[in-house]
Amino acid sequence: MNAQYDEIAEQYARTRHSPLRRWVEQPSFLGLAGDVRGLRVLDLACGDGFYTRALKQAGATEVVGVDISPAMIALATQNEQASPLGVEYVCADAAALPDLGRFDRVVAAYLLHYAPDRSVLSAMCSSIARCLGTGGDFVTLNENPAQSDEPAGAYARYGFTKSLDGPLADGATIRYRMLAGRESFGFEACYYCRETYEAVLHDAGFGAVQWHDLVVDRAAADGVDADYFDAYLAHPPVIGLSCRRR
């Protein structure tokens, strides 16, 4: 599961312009990340650095992006070289982070569900906790533990399909297929129930765990039909999650 984004780094980066990513994912994630002015922020699973750069542009004093995929880090570095913002990138596994120092906030747009089993999920959460001082927040977008029983094709109008292998149990494989124009590519994630996420975060030293509904930037999504996002939001495949270092 760790190497899968090396094959699809550029294709994944191109999905950035889908209505869903622009008007639901971006406001949801950046809203969760909050006011970062003057903060030192760690962006885990940073991919091509889109949010890493957005956080720096939003006024974070220092932003470090980390991703396990060398291809993703290469894209992020290219973006930094083409238009320098002073963002630093590190290729590393979030479950075994090198010492990057202390951060005021750790963010991740899609990370925890790439843990292939509970022990790796615990290692990720402990790694994150070590980067934060008491009161520091970790915020993330994540697989929604309240998985929909919608058929796999139900999200096709939004540019992807999603299916679950086997019963809804911790460690079950979730398969995504992204459909963008003539492009089609896939990646996998793991299902964990809400109680598992909450327990591993608690054991890693986090409290105040909260789940957050997605939001839509309806004003920005001006040319999109008013009800376009309704079916998606009725069964959101992903959800926001925040917690605070005790």
Ligand X SMILES: C[S@@+](CC[C@H](N)C(=O)[O-])C[C@H]1O[C@@H](n2cnc3c(N)ncnc32)[C@H](O)[C@@H]1O
79 lies in the binding site for ligand X (CB under 6 A) = no
Task: Give the DSSP H or E segment for 71.
Answer: helix 70-82
Q: How far apart are the first and last CA of the chain?
A: 31
47 lies in the binding site for ligand X (CB under 6 A) = yes
143 lies in the binding site for ligand X (CB under 6 A) = no
Residue 42: Cβ-neighbour burial (10 angstroms; 0-12, 13-18, 19+): buried
Phi and psi torsions of 223, nearest 5°: -85, 5
Q: Which is nearer to ligand X, 62 or 93 (CB)?
A: 93
- Residue with the closest Cβ to ligand X? 47
Task: Give the DSSP H or E segment for 169.
Answer: none
67 lies in the binding site for ligand X (CB under 6 A) = yes
Out of 23, 89, 103, 110, the only residue in the binding site for ligand X (CB under 6 A) is: 110
Q: Give me the 5-24 binding string for ligand X, x by CB under 6 A, dash otherwise.
A: x------x------------
Cα–Cα distance measured from residue 91 to residue 69, given in angstroms and rounded to the nearest whole number:
7
Least distance to ligand X, CB of residue 184, Å: 16
Cα–Cα distance measured from residue 143 to residue 93, given in angstroms and rounded to the nearest whole number:
19
Least distance to ligand X, CB of residue 186, Å: 12
109 lies in the binding site for ligand X (CB under 6 A) = yes
Phi and psi torsions of 134, nearest 5°: -55, 130
Q: Would you tell me which residues interact with ligand X (CB under 6 A)?
A: 2, 5, 12, 44-47, 50-51, 66-69, 72, 93-95, 109-111, 114
